[in-house]
Amino acid sequence: MAPAGSGRRPSMKTQDMMIFGYLMATGLTTGALYALVAIGVVVVFRATGVVNFAHGEMFMIGGFLAWTAHVMFGLPFLVAFAAAVAGTFVLGIITYQTTFRPLASTGNQNAILLAMVGLSFVLKGIARDLWGGRGDYLSFPPLVSPTPVDIFGFMIMSQQLIVLGAAIAVMIGFWLFFRFTRAGKFMQATADNTKAARLVGLRVDRVFMLTFAVGAAIAGAAATLMAPLTLLYPDVGFSLFVKGFAAAALGGLGSIPGAIVGGFLLGVTEQLSANYIATGLQEVAAFILIFLVMIFIPNGLFGTAARRRV
């Protein structure tokens, strides 16, 4: 008999539903952040035909910039968010001017890809030099109380709700940018047909520069939102790049809606497979996904036949 005054324990079915709700909330939250990383990859690839292999390190730099502004200087989170986005925006411009532009005229995409890989190591070295002395891992303070909230019978962490909502708001913001601003329309026109964009008088080099900047800024936004949920360290960018690339490949490497869907699917798949199949699958799910997509749906869920070589 249960001790006097003790409450009734939830049934196994109720416990299973609570666990499932937590896993779905966690999967959707991480999936939204994967989607942001994937959008940054897709934006650059659509315009230039090149996968920016330094994109993960731009994510990492954005996280450290937000940590510096919020933790070291005590600035409000929104100010730190703006600083990280602005800083990575400038980093994207520098990347274009120093890495992509000098090699683009040669037409040697292999050289560009190798330069991007080299840049990723340079950014890691800079991060270790600037922030490495403060510890192997840096923690970002939580945005809200860790107390979970009850939503339709599911216990969900308050911070997950805020991060998920903010990530969706960022996606909507960038969609509005691409849909209604002149710069966004120029980027889309150049991505759809570079030669036609040149013929109508668009400064394609400036559009490419803006593309790199916007892609990096999206990475900075994703890093700032993910920072309260994880630890920051110089190698964090690679694993996030792999997850974002897997999401982009699943949705279709040239499709922004596909990147969003792919990000959510990957996040949910990671959580459910780790809980119901094997814990180790959480870290390798992205690699398995890339492998399966390349075999069975090489163009992704929303992709079309590739017009350029990667």
Task: Tell whether the model's pLDDT for residue 280 goes beyond 80.
Answer: no
**Percentage of residues of the chain with pLDDT beyond 90:** 26
Give the span between the Cα atoms of 190 and 46, in whole angstroms.
Answer: 9
| pTM, rounded to two decimals | 0.85
As given in the structure block, the two tokens for residue 188 are: 């889309």
**Across residues 135-158, what is the average pLDDT?**
74
Helix, strand, coil content of the chain in percent (nearest 5) = 75, 5, 25
Tokens of 30: 């991480």
| pLDDT value for 212 | 93
Tokens for 117? Answer: 């890989």
Q: Mean pLDDT throughout 112-141?
A: 87
**Backbone dihedral angles phi then psi of residue 135, each to the nearest 5 degrees:** 125, 160
Least confident of 27-36, 102-111, 267-276, 301-310: 301-310
Return mean pLDDT, the chain. Answer: 83
Contacts of 4 (CB under 8 A, 6+ apart): none
- The model's pLDDT over 49-70, given as tens digits with 9 standing for 90+, comes to 888 999 999 999 999 999 999 9
What is the arithmetic mean of pLDDT over 5-22? 67
- Residue 119's pLDDT band (cuts 50, 70, 90): very high
Cα separation values, 275 from 34, 114, 123, Å: 19, 38, 35
- What does the pLDDT read at residue 1? 43
Cα–Cα separations (whole angstroms), residue 152 to 21, 95, 146, 156, 235: 10, 46, 19, 10, 38
Question: Residue 308: what pLDDT?
Answer: 45
Query: Helices 12-48 & 236-251, crossing angle to 10 degrees?
Result: 80
**Cβ atoms 42, 254 nearer than 8 A:** yes
pLDDT confidence bin for 12, thresholds 50/70/90: low
pLDDT of res. 305 = 55
Tell me if residue 137 falls in helix, strand or coil: coil
Average pLDDT of span 133-143: 79
For residue 122, the model assigns a pLDDT of 94
Look at the block and give the residue holding tokens 């002395």. Answer: 133
Provide the pLDDT confidence category of residue 83 given band limits of 50, 70 and 90: very high
Task: Measure the CA–CA gap between 29 and 181, rounded to whole angstroms.
Answer: 28
Residue 309 has pLDDT above 50, yes or no: no
Residue 220 has pLDDT above 90, yes or no: yes
